[in-house]
Amino acid sequence: MELDALDRIAARAFDGYLVRKDLVRQFSKQFPVPTYVVEFMLGRYCASIDEAEIQEGLEIVQRQLALPPGQIWTIGPGGMDEYPGLFRIEVNSGPGSHVKVLNRPAPAPFMESVRYAEQNLYARGRDLVGDRDPRSYEFTVQLRVFDASKSGHQTGVGVLVALCSSLLQKSIRGGLVLVGGIKEPPAKRSWRRHNSRQGLTFPPRSDYDQR
């Protein structure tokens, strides 16, 4: 794409703020994700007129837009102290028996979202993942931040879907960005047990048994 003298003057004046429009159109067609996600990613990695920098940024954008199983885009609604934010939740699963958050330090609102998602996965496992027993798997969860908002507040729906996607090894439908929190599932008993290793409180497994 050729730039004339006026374009170059404008580019120098707004260095780091200009993104080629043809890139937005190209990636909107190539990846079935919302346009604002494409615009955000291109603005973060390709806001340049240097062709080498643009190509390097495009490689990063391509890797991040093609999400494998266990990964999901989600938007947190924000709160009193922060604006809504775009996040990517990444979950991996393997043999084990607990959920581990990799973020250090892990934001307390995100920990709450993970805890509620874990509880709902155990309580509704048969409906969500069929015959697979989520309690016999270990999950690692990581929150990737793409905005000034960092808390991961009210992202429980995204966490729950990412857990299921990782367990089933099925990618999420292209273009899906989840929004919403999730509540603690109803327990058959009022008491709770405490997992001291993780600092999580949730109903005992017998409360969730479907058998």
pLDDT for residue 161: 96
Per-residue pLDDT tens over the stretch 144-177 = 998 888 999 999 999 999 999 999 999 887 667 8
- Report the chain's terminal Cα–Cα distance, integer Å: 64
Token pair belonging to 2:
């050729």
Final residue before a domain boundary, out of 22, 40, 65? 65
Distance CA 208, CA 21 (A): 51
Query: By residue range, what is the domain housing residue 126?
Result: 71-208
pLDDT of residue 41: 83
* CATH code at position 139: 3.30.230.10
Asked if 110 and 181 touch (Cβ cutoff 8 Å), the reply is no
Q: Which of 38, 65, 92 is the last residue of a domain?
A: 65
How many domains is the chain partitioned into structurally?
Answer: 2
Is the pTM above the cut of 0.85? no
